[in-house]
């Protein structure tokens, strides 16, 4: 078997592993989490250019309001993105659903795990009226209209009272009242507000809880698929070390006219070989327990990768510099 065939067969094996799919789901979760966090930071930093400063609202450029609305929309949209990707992830890991006659509603798409573990945790972390308002605000923003903001500066002073300069950025209540699909929790929240809605405290509280919930969720799925992911990581890392040694290249310097520096290929291959040896090899046949309670190690489906240079007598060398 040639080096190229060996490489392709190993890649096909890695591509079939359940741990690879879980790895990709972890990556998708991380991307959504980074998107959510970055949107929150950008919105907070933008508003901080005005709120908490001594600027007056009249001196702000028109672009400040437009940018506030844009960043607010991005943040609210990413709230739902993170939630949807979490939902898609756990429904792949725990896919079992109760029969229709055992569901709260026949069209309820939730799985057993979602009903018993995920949903109660969501209620615990995000069940407050103010957080529910943020969820509904996403629907309002995406399906109805992007909320308008009010930007203002208030001064106050009095006898024996210090002068106070307060800047604020809020959602216009008159625009929010035009939306007719608020849930009961959001309606209660809106009734508790006097005038425009100051959303900065809502974002701070939600972001804090979202980080805590993400950590909890990550630990849940990580433990559920730990062995499968570990198998993929170990095999993939061993394969990468093998490729690094096979494809080692020399160093180049201008003083050699663009040619390889003598002796550097041997040195770089030796370094890659040492790293490969330090990592080792992993047989992965699985462990089962027989009827007598004895653990039995299954036959490995991942035999050790061949020594570097095995194919060079008959095939194209792994590196053009030998």
Torsion over CA: 78, 80, 81, 85 (sign): positive
Q: What percent of the chain clears pLDDT 70, i.e. is strictly above it?
A: 88
Say whether pLDDT at 80 is over 50.
Answer: yes
C-alpha distances in Å from residue 168, one per residue of 161, 175, 257, 281, 315? 21, 17, 64, 60, 71
Say whether pLDDT at 116 is over 60.
Answer: yes
Residue 3: the pLDDT is 80
Say whether pLDDT at 52 is over 60.
Answer: yes
Contacts of 50 (CB under 8 A, 6+ apart): 57, 60, 64, 151, 167, 169
Name the more confident of 245 and 288: 245
Tokens coding 276: 């490969």
In sequence order, what are the beta bridge partners of 156? 164
C-alpha distances in Å from residue 5, one per residue of 8, 42, 197, 273, 315? 5, 48, 64, 21, 11
What is the residue-averaged pLDDT of the chain? Answer: 87
Q: How far is CA 188 from the centre of its chain?
A: 32
Q: What percent of the chain clears pLDDT 90, i.e. is strictly above it?
A: 60
287, HSE (Cβ side, Cα atoms, 13 Å): 7
Say whether pLDDT at 92 is over 90.
Answer: yes
Residue 317: the pLDDT is 45
- The lowest-confidence range among 137-146, 243-252, 297-306 is 297-306
pLDDT digits (tens, 9 = 90+) for 168-216: 999 999 999 999 999 999 999 999 998 899 988 889 999 999 999 999 9
Say whether pLDDT at 14 is over 60.
Answer: yes
Query: Residue 133 and residue 287: Cα distance in Å, rounded?
Result: 49
Say whether pLDDT at 320 is over 50.
Answer: no
Contacts of 319 (CB under 8 A, 6+ apart): 246, 247, 248, 249, 265
Task: Read off the pLDDT of each residue in 45-71 and give the average, rounded to a whole number.
Answer: 92
Say whether pLDDT at 91 is over 70.
Answer: yes
Say whether pLDDT at 313 is over 70.
Answer: no
Task: Read off the pLDDT of each residue in 78-90 and give the average, rounded to a whole number.
Answer: 93
Q: Which residue has the tokens 């900065």?
A: 200
When pLDDT is cut at 50, 70 and 90, the band that residue 321 belongs to is very low
pLDDT digits (tens, 9 = 90+) for 276-301: 889 888 766 655 556 676 655 556 78
Say whether pLDDT at 128 is over 90.
Answer: yes
- The lowest-confidence range among 96-100, 206-210, 246-250 is 246-250
Query: Residue 35 and residue 222: Cα distance in Å, rounded?
Result: 21
């Amino acid at each position: 078997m040639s080096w190229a065939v060996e490489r392709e067969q190993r890649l096909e094996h890695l591509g079939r592993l359940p741990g690879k799919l879980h790895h990709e789901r972890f990556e998708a979760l991380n991307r959504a989490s980074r998107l959510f966090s970055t949107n929150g930071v950008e919105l907070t930093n933008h508003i901080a250019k005005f709120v908490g400063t001594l600027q007056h609202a009249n001196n702000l450029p028109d672009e400040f309001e437009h940018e506030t609305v844009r960043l607010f929309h991005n943040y609210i949209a990413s709230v739902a993105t993170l939630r949807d990707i979490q939902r898609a992830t756990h429904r792949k890991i725990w896919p079992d659903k109760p029969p229709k006659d055992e569901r709260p509603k026949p069209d309820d798409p939730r799985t057993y795990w979602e009903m018993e573990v995920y949903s109660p945790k969501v209620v615990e972390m995000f069940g407050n009226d103010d957080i529910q308002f943020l969820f509904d605000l996403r629907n309002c923003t995406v399906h109805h209209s992007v909320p308008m903001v009010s930007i203002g500066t208030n001064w106050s002073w009095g006898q024996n009272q210090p002068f106070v300069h307060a800047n604020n950025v809020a959602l216009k209540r008159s625009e929010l009242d035009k939306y007719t699909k608020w849930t009961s929790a959001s309606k209660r929240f809106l009734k508790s507000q006097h005038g425009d809605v100051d959303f900065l405290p809502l974002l701070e509280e939600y972001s804090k809880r979202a980080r805590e919930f993400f950590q909890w969720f990550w630990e849940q799925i990580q433990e559920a698929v730990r062995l499968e992911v570990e198998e993929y990581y170990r095999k993939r890392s061993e394969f990468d070390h093998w490729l690094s040694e096979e494809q080692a290249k020399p160093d180049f310097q201008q003083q050699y006219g663009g040619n390889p520096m003598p002796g550097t290929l041997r040195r770089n291959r030796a370094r890659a070989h040492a790293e490969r040896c330090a990592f080792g090899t992993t047989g992965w046949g699985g462990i089962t327990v027989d009827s007598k309670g004895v653990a039995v190690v299954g036959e490995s489906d991942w035999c050790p990768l061949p020594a570097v240079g095995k194919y060079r007598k008959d095939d194209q060398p792994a590196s053009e510099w030998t």
